[in-house]
Each structure stands twice: as structure tokens, then as C-alpha cells.
């Protein structure tokens, strides 16, 4: 076959250890073991598709059988042995696909063939691809030969599913886990291939190829091949064209949509989604990309542009970073839960497109603060018993009032109820008032949490902003919201702040006590006591509030 007519994955397949990318440690370890003449009976290469397992197996076979020896391995002008291995027709190097030869009889034939020494090379080598496909009986038949083979016989296994191989086989091999290729390395590699093929493709389009390939060299070359074939002569393939070819949409659209969800602009959100849908994006792909975006919003401060696997460009990365500081983490986690739930619902609904639109509308209704990016404590508000009870009460009350005949009602009842409600209403204007009412109402647990585990940031009309320590009870917000509504007949918003806030009540009391003790330790009375009782220790101080002289 003419080399120019080959697909890129075959045309640029690595032929030596130097050609491999991303597997330098594996190459160095194998080379050192051959030089030290400590060659294992079997090599086992494992990893995802397209990262060079079979290719590495062939290169190892060349290293073992090269006519020039390990110190002078062929790099350009291949010897007869290396050339034959590259073309898969070496008489002493047998390549076998375990997917098509899975039975015990196939392995027995292999073992029988291994009885004879190599014809022209130093080693007889069996390369078995997708070795996990062998049957249990086939693996058992191989065990004895694998453990104590003749000196001239070597096995090289490759697999994508290491867990399916019996541990008895794995323990007899020298295992190498081939890693995914880093995004930056893969980008540089396909750039070189693009230049060799005289292709005109923008860097952003190449980054998209790297993202889709997920660290697989073969996948990236196959996509590059497809991109080059779609090019018009003299025209550069840009990101927009690449997205259409590979079925991906611009992530900036999703970021804009997310920002509009937080603002509660329903019409614009649905409009952007419909544009994305019209581009041919499947609902499941949309939800998965939405989940990916939520991950970036939650963890953007601990990520770099490269660690996003080129899923984002510089502008998108910066925009997410700026927006993320204005969004509460709890909201992102709640959105994640809704997205996962919608992913499960998609298979039930016949029109998946409508299901996604309703999913986006539901997200907008989670927002407790419209027209702002910052949404606080939505999850706690939704889960609180107070929220559920009030909603049910309001709905039931409205329904009954519509059905009842007004003429049959006693006119005095509403007045009595209003007066009664007004009499029972309690005014809470400060944090200290809240602690005092908890004490009066015998709400000891709430009082303890407020004094011990809560740091006040801001106290306003029907709104309390706090920070807290790790000991705060998980039901604190729900319990406090419920009691505040019961006491004041008004709904309160309790939000968590990233600010440290004031010192807790208990810590303030400790500070006052410490100051009193320090003052007493500097007094003449304490010094005279310590002169007479040097082992004494001052534990507490009681102030003389009544002004009575006890001497």
C-alpha cells in the first residue's frame, strides 16, 4: 500500500521508543531491563484505546530481536528483522487477536508451536492483543508455559480491561499501565502531523480535536484525518466549522445560558437552548455538557486551562472564573442534582427536547433572588418544613375561600383571628432578642447553637446572615426558619456568608472571663495570696455586682 494512501493513524504509527509520546517512563524501564539482561517472561500493557499498547508491543519485539543489538537499535534504516516486525510478517513474531481466537484449542496450538526455537531471531515472541477475551480454560492452559517458558520464548499481552484477566496471569507478567496522553503533548503532536500534511487548521479547532479524543492518539489522528478531508483547498478550518463537523457546540453559548438562568430570564434561556438544539445537539449531550460546566463553576479556582482538557478557551475560562465568585456552592450542587435527575427522566419522556426546556425552567424557579448572580441558601429554603407548610397552607386557604359562600361566614371571625394573631406576634429586632426569645420559649437547642456555633455577619428585617463552625447542627436552618415564622408570623431568610462574622456569644463570654482573670492576677491581693500559697491556681472570678463589701 502506498504510504500516502494510508490513514494518518497508520501512516504516523511510532516505530521506535523515541517516537512514542507520553510513555517515556515505560520506554526507559523496558530499555534498561533489556540492557541489564533482566527480561521478564511476559509483558502486560494496559490502558484506554489508542494510546499505543499494540504499538509498544511491536517496538519491544524489535528491541529484543534487532540485529544491531539493544545499544544500537534501528531508528531510520531498519534491519531485516525490524522491518519484518513493522510489516507484521516476521516468522518468529506471531501476532494474535484474542477476540477471534478465544478457545483453549487455540492456546494449545500456540503452546505446541512454542516448542520449536526461533528460526532467524534471538527470541520467539507471541503478541496477544485484547488478551482479556481469552476464555477461562484458555488462560488456565497458558499458566504453566507463562510461568516457566523456554529461554527463547517471550509473551507480550495488550488489553483495555485489565480486571477481566485472572490475577494468576497478571502475577506472572511485568505490568505496565500506559497513561492517557496529556492535552498539551497531544496538541503539539497533531500540530506537527497537520504541518506535514500541509493542512490549514486553526489552533482552536485542533484543541477541539484534542478534547474529543480524550487522550487517545489514534482518536485524535482519525479526527484530524476527517478534518483535513473536509477542507476546501486554500481555506482554513476554524472552530465553528470544526464544531459542525464533529457535532459540538460553542461552550460560550452554554455559559451565557447559565448566566441567564441565574438572572431568571426565561424567554432568553429558552431561545438560546433552541438555537443549540437546532445545531443538532442531542439532549443527552446537552445535559452532560451542562454537568461539565457545573463542575468547572464549582472547581474553577483549583483548575488551570490545560487541566480542562481544552474544553474551554481563554475567554470562557476567565468568564467562568469571574462568575463563580458570585455563586454560592450550594446552588451549584443543587443544580447538579437536578441535572442528574433530568438525565434519568430523558429516557421516559417521548419528546426529549421538551424535557430539557422544562429542566431549564425548573432551574430558574430555584432562584430565590431574581436579577442577581448571587443565590444563597436555596437548598435549605426549599427543604425547610416551614417553606413546604406555608406553601400548602396558602394554597389550601385560597382554594377554600373560593369555594365557600361568603354570606355563610360569620363576619366577626376574621376580626377575632386578626386580633389574636396580632397579639401573639413577637418583634425580633436584634440578634440578642432572638437568643432571649429562645430562652423564654425553652428552645434550649436553638439557643445553644446560636450562642456556641454561630457567628453573626448581618442582622436585618426578616434576614439573618451568618457564618458557622463545623459543629453546627445540620437541621439548624430548617428549625430556626420554622420557629421564626411561628413567633413572628413572617418568613425569614437565613443565609450563609463566606465572611468570618462576629465572635460567637460563648467566645465573647470566655474573653470577658479571661480579661477578669488577667486583671485579678495583676492585683496586689492575688500576689499576696500566691506568696503564701505558691501552688494555688486562679480558676474563676465573680464580680461583686451588689456593691456589698464582704470583708
Query: Does 138 lie in the same domain as 20?
Result: yes
Question: CA-CA distance, 31 to 59, in Å (whole number)?
Answer: 11
User: What domain count does the chain have?
Assistant: 5
- How does strand 174-177 pair with strand 42-46? parallel
Q: What is the pLDDT of residue 418?
A: 43
pLDDT above 60 (res 85): yes
55's grid cell:
504499538
Look at residue 386 and tell me if it is in a domain.
no
By 3-state DSSP, what share of the chain in percent is helix, strand and coil, each rounded to 5? 55, 10, 35
- Which domain CATH number covers 255? 1.20.272.10
Taking Cα atoms as reference points, which of 308, 161, 201, 321 lies closest to residue 255?
321
Among 246, 261, 296, the domain boundary falls at 246
Confidence band of 444 (pLDDT split at 50, 70, 90): confident
Confidence band of 367 (pLDDT split at 50, 70, 90): low
Secondary structure (3-state) at 174: strand
Query: Does 40 lie in the same domain as 173?
Result: yes
Among 218, 246, 274, the domain boundary falls at 246
Confidence band of 305 (pLDDT split at 50, 70, 90): low
User: In terms of C-beta density within 10 A (0-12 exposed, 13-18 middle, 19 or more buried), how is residue 13 classed?
Assistant: middle
140's grid cell:
488456565
Look at residue 392 and tell me if it is in a domain.
no
Question: CA-CA distance, 25 to 349, in Å (whole number)?
Answer: 50
Angle, in degrees to the nearest 10, between helices 505-521 and 524-532: 70
Query: Does 165 lie in the same domain as 201?
Result: no
Query: Does 192 lie in the same domain as 140?
Result: no
Look at residue 381 and tell me if it is in a domain.
no
Of 449-453, 488-492, 515-519, the least confident: 515-519
Look at residue 492 and tell me if it is in a domain.
yes
Percent of the chain with pLDDT over 70: 85
The stretch 40-68 carries a mean pLDDT of 92
**Strands across the sheet with 124-129, in order?**
93-97, 124-129, 153-159, 42-46, 174-177
* 3-class SS string, 270-318: HHHHHHHHHCCCCHHHHHHHHHHHHHHHHHHHHCCCHHHCCCCCHHHHH
Q: What is the pLDDT of residue 166?
A: 93
163's grid cell:
480486571
Contacts of 330 (CB under 8 A, 6+ apart): 376, 377, 378, 379, 380, 496
In Å, the largest CA–CA distance within the chain is: 114
Taking Cα atoms as reference points, which of 336, 328, 322, 324 lies closest to residue 375?
328
43's grid cell:
509483558
Among 177, 207, 222, the domain boundary falls at 177
Q: What is the pTM of this model?
A: 0.58
Confidence band of 160 (pLDDT split at 50, 70, 90): very high
Query: Does 188 lie in the same domain as 71?
Result: no
Confidence band of 250 (pLDDT split at 50, 70, 90): low
Contacts of 98 (CB under 8 A, 6+ apart): 128, 129, 130, 131, 132, 133, 134
Query: Does 124 lie in the same domain as 76?
Result: yes
Query: Does 100 lie in the same domain as 59?
Result: yes
For the residues of 232-285, what is the DSSP string, one character each? PTT--B-HHHHHHHHT---HHHHHHHHHHHHHT-HHHHHHHHHHHHHTT--HHH
Confidence band of 27 (pLDDT split at 50, 70, 90): very high
- Which domain CATH number covers 128? 3.40.50.300
Query: Does 323 lie in the same domain as 203?
Result: no
- Give residue 302's domain range: 251-375
pLDDT above 70 (res 545): no
pLDDT tens digit string along 389-406?
444 444 444 433 433 343
pLDDT above 60 (res 551): no
Q: Grid coordinates 483548575 are at which residue? A: 303
pLDDT tens digit string along 451-490?
888 888 888 888 888 888 878 887 888 888 888 888 888 8
pLDDT above 50 (res 495): yes
Query: Does 131 lie in the same domain as 29?
Result: yes
pLDDT above 60 (res 35): yes
Q: What is the pLDDT of residue 502?
A: 82
Look at residue 399 and tell me if it is in a domain.
no
Question: CA-CA distance, 401 to 461, in Å (whole number)?
Answer: 31
Look at residue 457 and tell me if it is in a domain.
yes
* 3-class SS string, 150-171: CCCEEEEEEECCHHHCCHHHHC
Taking Cα atoms as reference points, which of 14, 165, 15 lies closest to residue 98?
165
Q: What is the pLDDT of residue 306?
A: 62
pLDDT higher at 76 or 291: 291
pLDDT above 90 (res 174): yes
158, 132 in Cβ contact below 8 A? no
Query: Does 165 lie in the same domain as 125?
Result: yes
pLDDT tens digit string along 88-98?
889 999 998 88
- Which domain CATH number covers 428? 3.30.300
188, 156 in Cβ contact below 8 A? no
Confidence band of 125 (pLDDT split at 50, 70, 90): very high
Question: CA-CA distance, 512 to 504, in Å (whole number)?
Answer: 13
Q: What is the pLDDT of residue 380?
A: 47
Q: Grid coordinates 366577626 are at which residue? A: 412
Query: Does 415 lie in the same domain as 309?
Result: no
- Which domain CATH number covers 237? 1.10.8.60
Confidence band of 388 (pLDDT split at 50, 70, 90): very low
Look at residue 34 and tell me if it is in a domain.
yes
Q: What is the pLDDT of residue 212?
A: 83
Query: Does 538 lie in the same domain as 481?
Result: no
Look at residue 301 and tell me if it is in a domain.
yes
Amino acid at each position: 500500500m502506498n504510504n500516502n494512501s494510508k490513514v494518518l493513524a497508520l501512516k504516523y504509527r511510532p516505530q521506535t521508543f523515541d517516537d512514542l509520546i507520553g510513555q517515556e517512563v515505560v520506554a526507559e524501564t523496558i530499555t534498561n531491563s533489556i540492557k541489564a539482561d533482566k527480561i521478564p517472561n511476559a509483558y502486560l500493557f494496559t490502558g484506554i484505546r489508542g494510546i499505543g499498547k499494540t504499538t509498544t508491543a511491536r517496538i519491544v519485539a524489535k528491541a529484543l530481536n534487532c540485529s544491531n543489538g539493544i545499544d544500537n537499535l534501528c531508528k531510520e534504516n531498519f534491519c531485516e528483522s525490524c522491518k519484518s516486525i513493522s510489516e507484521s510478517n516476521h516468522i518468529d513474531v506471531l501476532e494474535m487477536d484474542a477476540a477471534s481466537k478465544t478457545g483453549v484449542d487455540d492456546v494449545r496450538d500456540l503452546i505446541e508451536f512454542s516448542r520449536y526455537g526461533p528460526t532467524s531471531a534471538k527470541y520467539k515472541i507471541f503478541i496477544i492483543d485484547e488478551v482479556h477475551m481469552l476464555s477461562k480454560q484458555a488462560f488456565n492452559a497458558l499458566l504453566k508455559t507463562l510461568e516457566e517458558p523456554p529461554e527463547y520464548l517471550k509473551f507480550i499481552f495488550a488489553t483495555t480491561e485489565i480486571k477481566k484477566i485472572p490475577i494468576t496471569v497478571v502475577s506472572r507478567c511485568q505490568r505496565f499501565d500506559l497513561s492517557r496522553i496529556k492535552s498539551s503533548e497531544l496538541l503539539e503532536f497533531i500540530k506537527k502531523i497537520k504541518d506535514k500534511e500541509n493542512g490549514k487548521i486553526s489552533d482552536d479547532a485542533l484543541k477541539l480535536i484534542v478534547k474529543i479524543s480524550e487522550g487517545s492518539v489514534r482518536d485524535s489522528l482519525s479526527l484530524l484525518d476527517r478534518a483535513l478531508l473536509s477542507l476546501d483547498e486554500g481555506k482554513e478550518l476554524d472552530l465553528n466549522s470544526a464544531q459542525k463537523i464533529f457535532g459540538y457546540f460553542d461552550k460560550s453559548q452554554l455559559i451565557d445560558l447559565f448566566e441567564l438562568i441565574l438572572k431568571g430570564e426565561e424567554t432568553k434561556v429558552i431561545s438560546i437552548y433552541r438555537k443549540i438544539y437546532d445545531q443538532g445537539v442531542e439532549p443527552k449531550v446537552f445535559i452532560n455538557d451542562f454537568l461539565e460546566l457545573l463542575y468547572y463553576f464549582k472547581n474553577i479556582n483549583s483548575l488551570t486551562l490545560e487541566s480542562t482538557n481544552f474544553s474551554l478557551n481563554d475567554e470562557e475560562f476567565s468568564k467562568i472564573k469571574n462568575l463563580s465568585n458570585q455563586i454560592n456552592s450550594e446552588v451549584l450542587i443543587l443544580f447538579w442534582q437536578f441535572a442528574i435527575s433530568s438525565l434519568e427522566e430523558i429516557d421516559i419522556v417521548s419528546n426529549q427536547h421538551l424535557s430539557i426546556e422544562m429542566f431549564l425552567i425548573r432551574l430558574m424557579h430555584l432562584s430565590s433572588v431574581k436579577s442577581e448572580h448571587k443565590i444563597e441558601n436555596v437548598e435549605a429554603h426549599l427543604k425547610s418544613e416551614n417553606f413546604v407548610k406555608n406553601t400548602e397552607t396558602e394554597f389550601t386557604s385560597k382554594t377554600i375561600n373560593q369555594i365557600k359562600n361568603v354570606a355563610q361566614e360569620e363576619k366577626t371571625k376574621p376580626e377575632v383571628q386578626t386580633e389574636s394573631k396580632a397579639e401573639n406576634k413577637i418583634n425580633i429586632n436584634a440578634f440578642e432578642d432572638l437568643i432571649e426569645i429562645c430562652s423564654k420559649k425553652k428552645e434550649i437547642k436553638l439557643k445553644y447553637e446560636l450562642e456556641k456555633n454561630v457567628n453573626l455577619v448581618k442582622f436585618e428585617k426578616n434576614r439573618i446572615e451568618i457564618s458557622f463552625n463545623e459543629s453546627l447542627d445540620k437541621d439548624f436552618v430548617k428549625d430556626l426558619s420554622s420557629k421564626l415564622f411561628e413567633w413572628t408570623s413572617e418568613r425569614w431568610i437565613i443565609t450563609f456568608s463566606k465572611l468570618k462574622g462576629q465572635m460567637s456569644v460563648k467566645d465573647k463570654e470566655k474573653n470577658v472571663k479571661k480579661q477578669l482573670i488577667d486583671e485579678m492576677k495583676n492585683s496586689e491581693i492575688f500576689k499576696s495570696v500566691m506568696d503564701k500559697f505558691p501552688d494555688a491556681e486562679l480558676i474563676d472570678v465573680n464580680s461583686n455586682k451588689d456593691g456589698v463589701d464582704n470583708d
